[in-house]
Structure 1
Amino acid sequence: MTDSKTTQGSPPAAPAAPGVAAPFTALLIAVLSFSLMQTMVVPALPDLQREFDTSTTVVSWVLSAFLLTSSVATALLGRVGDMFGKRRVLIASLTVFALGTLLAAVSNSIGMLIAARAVQGVGSAAFPLAFGIVRDQFPRERVPVAIGLISSTFGIGFGVGLVIPGPLVDALGWHWIFWAGLVVIVLGILAVAAFIKESPVRSPGRIDWTGVVLLSAGVVALLIAISQGKSWGWGSGGVIGLFVAAVVLLAVFVAVESRLREPLVDIRLLRRPAVATSHVTALIIGFGMYGAFTLVPLLAQTPPQAGYGFGASVTEAGLFMVPMAVTMLFASPLAGRIGAAVGFKLPLVLACLIGVLGFVVYAGAHDEKWTMYTGSAVLGIGVGFAFAALANLVVSAVEPSQTGEATGINTIMRTIGGSLGAQIAASLVASDTVPGTSIPAESGYTTAFTMSAIALGVATLAALAGPGRLRKAPAPAKTPARPSRSTTA
């Protein structure tokens, strides 16, 4: 099928450049800079709350503001990159990201820091734009592995971002979280400018501002309801009203986009079975997996006097995430190779099943450090497989000119699922405490990890419901041509 919006046709099988090592490294640095900034601030939240003398609800907006703008920017800038050039938009996005990080580094009030984090969220566009650049410019046989590695950077940065801040905050103060992040972002900008060529694939048109407003308002309402559900109360009028508003706004968005010639999101893409099941699976995987990123360090920091936990410092607690980052680094390219050979449905199903195993270890054997390290290593394989398979399934199901918008929506689905899962997991952990203390009871962690295992079991069913077989059908063997019969003796 040929996309009429593609002005210069499909990209060639191989890029003009003789190698892809330099451009690929540039993309990795760009996406790593964003993924690190998602969680580097998490270990510093208690310090921020004390320094600015504010409440837990207010300081939580340091995370929520980033999440809200990143969700909106992912969809909008992915589409803008398809229209005006992915390299150009990637550099602009990273530049705004750098300015937000600089503002955070010099912040002297909680309001200024929250505003800076909102500006930082624009950097989320790095992921859909990077996927599009890989598909447009890399040799076809290298695309699955490259997308797998870029996808794994999301999780690696997420995990490593929980490890690095401990020593930085202890030695230099929380401002240095952002100064260190700024260095990585600037390196990413310079690398992209030096080694990435502009994409030859474009999808010209006009920006659908009505769609931007409706999608932004719907996603913002949904994420505010999720992020504030615990503090406001899940049954409160504010949270219920926001959920209703989100449903109405997103329904209107779908109705409007279905009638436009140049929509922000081509709703017809969502009707493709491969795209639809990938988005649903991403939502459920996000719900199941993201709780581990924050719950494991919290469990590790629990004093042993509570009957569980290891009394770890912030730095030591972050080390429990290192095995996950290491195995993810190897799992994602492996998933890319498996997918290229037999199709990406198999690695996605395996990702969910491996994730179930990881959370079973967390739930049933979290009383020893080595079992927690083992659970993290197993879960890292599942996360790596999942991120690589989801991205490749979406990319292979759409035209090159639609890569940005399609992968952007998949990222949003994963973010929404992750936000909901993390909030519910936190609520489960906080629902019961050790008698006479404010320390969460061990049963809360066991319940939360079990919930994640069940969610990934459901994600397995969603992945199996997707089109295609678990393995590609073997190519039919060629039948040798029969010799023609002679009509003469």
Structure 2
Amino acid sequence: MTIRSNHRPAYAAVAVSVASIALLQNLVIPVIPMIEADLRIDSDAATWTMTAWLIAAAVATPLLGRVGDLRGRRATLLAVLGLVMLGDLVAAFAPNIGVLIAGRVLQGAGGAVFPLAFALLREFMPPQRLTGAIGSVSALIGIGGAAGSVLAGPLSASIGWRGLFEVALIAAAIGALLAVAWIPRSATRASGRLNSLSGVLLSGWLVALLLPLASGAHWGWTSPVTLGLFALAAVLLVAWVVSELRSATPLVDIRMLAHRSIWPVNAAGVLIGVAVFGFWGYLPLFLEVPADTGWALGLTAQTAGLVLVPLLAGMSLAGFATGALSRVLTLRTQLVAGALVMGASVVAAVLFHAAIWQLAVAGGLFGIGVGTAYAAMASIIVEGVPASSVGIATGVNANLRSIGSAIGSALMTAIVFGSVDAGGRPFESGYDTAWLTIAAVAVLAAVIVAVVPVTRRRDEVPVLLPTAPQPVLADAA
């Protein structure tokens, strides 16, 4: 088919677009103190720059993923990149925190790029190279997110925190130009319309759930606001499920997601999201605990960032190797193995953390586990649902991982900072307990995928897996 004949430049355009958005995920975390000082705000106000992105991405990812299924993925991708570039401009020149948060909301629409990218890959990649392409793009999502947090500090020292958004603007513009030039127009479209009621209910329960998860530690987990929002999220979730099951044109096909080939992967997505943020997100904080506690390493923020480099390398290696591994291991086996490696590496960090190199090795192994699990998860979803539903299905999976990350953050905060010394610093036992819990969560994800038997859906059209070596690394380069 013609649409597959130019897959190499189209793949490059998708990869650049994905990388430009992935950078924005954690870009502001290292520069929050700079934002506080420049805009003269407190830390509570500054953290909304992260919360706003999270909630906007959670809402936009499934909704715009479905719009891509219905109206064309290439056109939707370009529209999303346009919104992101507008958000970059707004954030770069924001005179106050309100405008900056508005810019971050616009940037959050970029979360929809990820499901759109996977759906586009299924359209134009040859079947024998699809798994490798999905694996490498999955790796780019993780690498970009981590690279944003690692590079933001050094870059901001040279160009300021506003300059970071200008760099993101340039990256998104390059991705958009390449998409216009190289990505073919979408050949597969779903029939029907966008279910507005389902969209409102879905957005409502996501916002009601993520707000208290992000701010519950500050508000108090038993405060009326926190408990009220959790209750509202539960009510809206039930209403959304009922609405989808009764609708002739559902936004999300609940029955498809409940199939045995899909729901264990989504359940694992939540648990792996918990584990990823619980270890990856808190490893720098662990490294930066002052050495005068008697047990900590007391690294600077810059040195702690360097310790994450093996994690990035491991994730990259595993993601790009997925295509080759699929010739000897099923995708489900890779997902199970990745989750088990994650759990084992976290246990290793609990047992051995007296030296920097020990945590660097544990981080590298954790990266291999994350890269393997993420790539396999995305491939299972893309190859296991009808072509017309890839956007919404991968969007839901991405959202579930985001919910897991929010749960992981809340869990770690409650355990690690639930008991502190006179100086407000956490105890070593707090990290040990939290990380052992995280390891158990990762193992549970592996168990769920391993024990649920797989059956093929009646409407499933299998995607051929590679039977010969794939030059995926060359394509990625």
Is contact 1:84-1:204 (8 Å) kept?
A: no
Aligned partner of 2:159 among 144, 152, 172 = 172
What does the per-residue CA deviation read over 1:176-202, in whole Å, with 9 as the maximum and x for residues that have no partner? Answer: 221121121111111111110012101
1:17 deviation in Å? 4.8
- Alignment counterpart, residue 454 of structure 1, candidates 410, 430, 440: 440
Whether 1:351 aligns to 2:338 is yes
Give, in whole Å, the separation in 1 of the partners of 2:267 and 2:218. Answer: 28
Provide the rounded CA distance (Å) in 2 between the counterparts of 1:124 and 1:239: 26
Partner SS, residue 163 of structure 1: helix
CA distance in 2, matches of 1:206, 1:254: 18
> What is the TM-score with the length of structure 2 in the denominator?
0.92
Counterpart of 2:454?
468
Q: Select between 97-106 and 307-316 the one with higher mean Cα deviation.
A: 307-316
Which of 295, 312, 317 is the matching residue for 2:304? 317
The aligned runs of 1:145-164 (5 Å cut-off) are 145-164=132-151
Counterparts in 2 of 1:77 and 1:65: CA distance versus 1, 3 Å? same
Match of 2:107 in 1: 120
Q: Deviations over 1:387-411 (max 9, x none)?
A: 1111111112211011001101000
Equivalences for residues 158-307 of structure 1 within 5 A: 158-307=145-294
The yes-or-no answer on 1:422 pairing with 2:409 is: yes
- The answer to whether 1:82 aligns with 2:65 is no
Aligned mates of 1:409, 1:340 — CA distance in 2:
27
The aligned residue for residue 358 of structure 2 is 371
**TM-score normalized by the length of structure 1:** 0.90
CA apart distance, 1:428: 1.9
Matches within 5 A, 1:34-183: 34-183=21-170
Q: Is the 8 A contact 1:73 1:121 kept in 2?
A: yes
1:442 aligned residue (410, 414, 428) = 428
Provide closer, same or farther for how the CA distance between residues 228 and 16 of structure 1 changes in structure 2, counting only shifts above 3 A: closer
Q: 2:261 aligns to what SS in structure 1?
A: helix
Q: How many Å apart are 1:293 and its aligned residue? A: 2.7
Contact 1:164 1:315 in 2 (8 A): no
Residue type of the alignment partner of 2:95: N
Contact 2:63 2:199 in 1 (8 A): yes
Sequence identity percentage: 35
Name the residue aligned to 2:460. none
* Equivalent residue letter for 2:452: G
TM-fit CA distance, 1:289: 1.4
Q: Is the 8 A contact 1:339 1:345 kept in 2?
A: no
In structure 2, the partner of 1:3 is none
Amino acid at match of 2:436: T
Bigger radius of gyration: 1
SS for the counterpart of 2:150 is coil
Q: Matched residues in 2 for 1:328 and 1:255: separation?
A: 39
Query: For the residues of structure 1 that align with 2:3 and 2:263, how far apart are their CA atoms?
Result: 34
Counterpart contact for 1:296–1:320, Cα < 8 Å: no
Q: 1:119 to 1:233 in 2, by over 3 A?
A: same
Contact kept? 1:300, 1:309, Cα under 8 Å: yes
Letter in structure 1 aligned against 2:288: Q
State the one-letter code of the partner of 1:462.
Answer: I
AA at the equivalent of 1:393? I
TM-aligned CA deviation for residue 341 of structure 1: 4.3
The Cα of 1:308 is off from its aligned counterpart by 3.3
Partner of 1:381: 368
Is the 8 Å Cα contact of residues 3 and 184 (structure 2) preserved in structure 1? Answer: no
Within 1, Cα distance between the matches of 2:281 and 2:376?
Answer: 24
User: In the aligned structure 2, how far is the partner of 1:255 from the partner of 1:451?
Assistant: 34
Q: Which runs of 5+ in 1 are unaligned?
A: 1-11, 470-489
- For 2:20, give the aligned amino acid: S
**CA-atom RMSD in angstroms:** 1.5
Q: Distance in 2 between matches of 1:228 and 1:273?
A: 34
Q: 2:475: which partner in 1? A: none
Distance in structure 1 (CA, Å) of the matches to 2:300 and 2:24: 21
On the 8 A contact 1:295/1:445 being kept in 2, the answer is no
The CA distance in 2 between the partners of 1:213 and 1:250, in whole Å, is: 11
Contact in 1 for aligned 2:84/2:108 (Cα 8 Å): yes
Q: Deviation per CA, 1:35-60: give whole Å up to 9, x if none.
A: 11110110111222233332332221
